[in-house]
Amino acid sequence: MYEAFLQFPTDFIWGVATAAYQIEGAWNEDGRGPSIWDTFSQSSSNIADNQPGNVAVDHYHRYQEDIELMRFLGIHNYRMSLSWSRIFPEGRGRVEQRGLDFYNRLVDSLLSANIKPWITLYHWDLPQALQDRGGWTNRDTVAAFAEYVDQVTRSLGDRVKHWMTFNEPWVASICGNLLGVHAPGLKDIQTTLAVAHGMLLGHGMGSRIVKTNVRDSMVGIVNNLAWIEPATNTEADRAAAHRWDGAYNRWFMDSIYKGSYPEDMLKWFGPLVPEIRQDDMKLISTPTDFLGLNYYTRRLVHYDPKNPFIQASQTYRSHTPRAEFEEFEDWPEGLYHTLCRIRDEYGNPPVYITENGTTTLDEISDDGCVHDPVRVDYLRRHFSAAYQAITEGCQCKGFFVWSLLDNYEWAFGFSKRFGLVFVDYTDNLHRIPKDSAYFFRQVIRKNGFRIHSR
Ligand code: FCB
């Protein structure tokens, strides 16, 4: 048995993350236009328990209380996203001033609580008006995105310096357009690849606009990378794992960091690959200041001829009996390996872990508290993995926990709780910090934590 204190570098950033659609609510207030997530979630069969995200956790009206919570927990960095259709209700053209005013108030209140906002420009909620014209498969959407980025960076860029263009382009393209489990609920390979390409173009264009409009800015994209391993050592499974890695990791990393899609995957998708115009790849690989990394899982992959996309599927392995996503394996080693891979294969850019966290079966106990030892243990082990990578030369600069509070977990509705703060859905959305929130407060205060191991 030994004990040690893991002391993080003095400039290490600790924070929490949220996304607009998952917390704001107020879906049709102050002139906000509908997004694809309104359309999708209001069609009840798409969501667990048939719950739309109309109210979510009502952050739009309770943002002062939520900032107060962050202040109480000692949080100084907050990753949030903007609802595009709050600002451009029709996707482009007319600006809704009341939407901009909301974000201005929010940013000012955060700053006066000594909390830095880190803004994600696109966390999946495309204005419905743009989807009606083909969404990300239409290059006009990329132009509309540029207009939106220009507007918000001009409005907020005097105070907000940290910007992220897209959150998880693979989830947004594949879950939304191939698997049909996210908005807009389509199931088509060609559309999926075109959507991914459109988002990557938007990333390149958006990051250039941030750099032009915001003095001293830091800009990057947020990719969710998983650690991939073949489920068995057969040649078929090894090839399947390589394809999985190609479609989900390398497609979004090689394009951005190497300026080309992976050769093997271009060949695999063949005629399904969308038109790539001259200069597209140059735009996509525009140099940025950091990579945002969302890490949740390892994926064990096997050959599956029935999967039309890459003839590969995931073998699920769960370590703990709890309300985790079946497809998420609690595997902190994968975070360590992924950070090392970014160091070795992608030029060791500065990395902020922009999301990591877990869902557990939380409830209010008799003492009025919410005890979530599984989450505390999960975070401790993932923080340790990041620490180990830092000691081995990875430029991991910060860690944002997903999420500040329980919220609307997309197709899972309110059935999954990822928060450090509990939200009581049966009692007026009352907020109660969980044990993990107090644990995190201590970690931030000491910029590290004690580990015991055998
Ligand atoms: C990520 C999303 C985030 C949240 C977590 C659990 O893929 O970026 O919005 O849903 O998963």
pLDDT higher than 80, residue 380? yes
Q: How confident is the model at residue 324 (pLDDT cuts 50, 70, 90)?
A: low
User: How far apart are the CA of 3 and the centre of ligand 1, in A?
Assistant: 33
CA end-to-end span of the chain, whole Å? Answer: 4
- Across 404-427, average pLDDT: 97
- What residue's CA is closest to ligand 1, atom 10? 409
Would you say the CB of residue 126 lies under 6 angstroms from ligand 1? no
pLDDT-derived band at 92 (thresholds 50, 70, 90) equals very high
If pLDDT is split at 50, 70 and 90, which confidence band does 433 have? very high
CATH topology of domain 2-453: TIM Barrel (3.20.20)
Mean pLDDT of 32-55: 95
Q: Which atom of ligand 1 is nearest to the CA of 416?
A: 6
For residues 390 and 118, give the distance between their C-alpha atoms in angstroms, rounded to a whole number: 22
Q: Return the ligand 1 atom nearest residue 296 CA.
A: 11
Burial of 93 (0-12, 13-18, 19+ CB in 10 A): exposed
Residue 16 or 316, more confident: 16
Mean per-residue pLDDT, 4-24: 98
What integer pLDDT is reported at residue 65 of this predicted model? 98
Probe residue for ligand 1, chosen from 168, 325, 404, 408 as the CB with the greatest number of ligand atoms within 8 Å = 168
Which regions of 231-289 does DSSP assign to beta strands (E)?
A: none
Residue 2 confidence (pLDDT): 82
Residue nearest (by alpha carbon) to ligand 1 atom 9: 19
Of the candidates 78, 96, 82, the one whose C-alpha atom is nearest the C-alpha of residue 125 is: 82
Average pLDDT, stretch 95-102?
Answer: 98
Strand blocks (E) in 113-241: 116-122, 162-167, 218-224, 227-230
Q: Which whole number is the average pLDDT over 398-421? A: 98
**Ligand 1 mean position to 409 CA, how many Å?**
7
With pLDDT > 90 as the criterion, what percentage of the chain qualifies? 95
Query: Which of 183, 181, 206 shows the shortest CA–CA distance to 48?
Result: 181
Q: Ligand 1 within 6 A of 402 CB?
A: yes
400 C-alpha to center of ligand 1: Å? 12
Is the separation of the CB atoms in 262 and 248 below 8 Å? Answer: no
Scan for tokens 């393209």, then name that residue.
173
Q: Whose CA is nearest to atom 4 of ligand 1?
A: 409
Going by pLDDT thresholds of 50, 70 and 90, the confidence category of residue 390 is: very high
The pLDDT value given to residue 319: 65
Average pLDDT, the chain: 97
Q: Is 9 helix (H, G, I), strand (E, B) or coil?
A: coil
Going from the Cα of 401 to the center of ligand 1, the distance in angstroms, rounded, reads 11
Q: Is the CB of 120 under 6 A from ligand 1?
A: no
Binding site membership of 168 for ligand 1 (Cβ less than 6 Å):
yes
- Identify which of 105, 113, 103, 121 has the alpha carbon closest to the alpha carbon of residue 77: 113
355 C-alpha to ligand 1 centroid (Å): 8
CA-based nearest residue to 246, from 233, 260, 235: 260
The CB of 213 under 6 Å from ligand 1? The reply is no
Among the listed residues 284, 258, 259, 136, the one whose alpha carbon sits nearest the alpha carbon of residue 196? 136
Closest atom of ligand 1 relative to the 357 alpha carbon: 6
Distance 277 CA to ligand 1 centre (A): 31
Residue 322 has pLDDT above 60, yes or no: no
- Residue 301: φ, ψ to 5°: -115, 135
Check pLDDT > 90 for residue 235: yes
Express each pLDDT in 146-197 by its tens digit: 999 999 999 999 999 999 999 999 999 999 999 999 999 999 999 999 999 9
Q: Indicate whether residue 295 lines ligand 1 (CB < 6 A).
A: no
Q: What is the DSSP string of 363-417?
A: ---TTS-B--HHHHHHHHHHHHHHHHHHHTT--EEEEEEE-SB----GGGTTS--
Q: What is the pLDDT of residue 321?
A: 52
1 has a pLDDT exceeding 80: no
Structure confidence at residue 108 (pLDDT): 99
Residue 254: strand, helix, or coil: helix
Annotated active-site positions, please? 168, 355
**Rounded to the nearest 5 degrees, what angle is found at the Cα of 439, between the Cα atoms of 433 and 444?**
105
Decide if 406 contacts 384 (C-beta within 8 A). Answer: no
- Given a cut of 80, whether residue 326 has pLDDT beyond it is no
Count other Cβ atoms within 10 Å, centred on residue 84.
28
In this model, does residue 453 exceed pLDDT 90? no
Ligand 1 in reach of 407 Cβ (< 6 A): no
19 Cβ inside 6 Å of ligand 1 = yes
Confidence of residue 44 (pLDDT cuts 50, 70, 90): confident
Position 437 scores a pLDDT of 99
pLDDT tens digit sequence for 264-321: 999 999 999 999 999 999 999 999 999 999 999 999 999 999 999 999 999 877 665 5
18 lines ligand 1 (CB under 6 A): no
Categorize the per-residue pLDDT at 452 as very low, low, confident or very high, splitting at 50, 70 and 90: confident
Could you identify the atom of ligand 1 that is nearest to the CA of residue 22? 9
Q: Which atom of ligand 1 is nearest to the CA of 410?
A: 10
> Is the pLDDT assigned to residue 58 strictly greater than 80?
yes
pLDDT at 177: 98
Whether residue 403 is preceded by a cis peptide bond, meaning omega within 30 degrees of 0, is: yes
The verdict on the CB of residue 409 being under 6 Å from ligand 1 is yes
What is the 419 CA–ligand 1 centroid distance (Å)? Answer: 12
pLDDT (0 to 100) of residue 320? 57
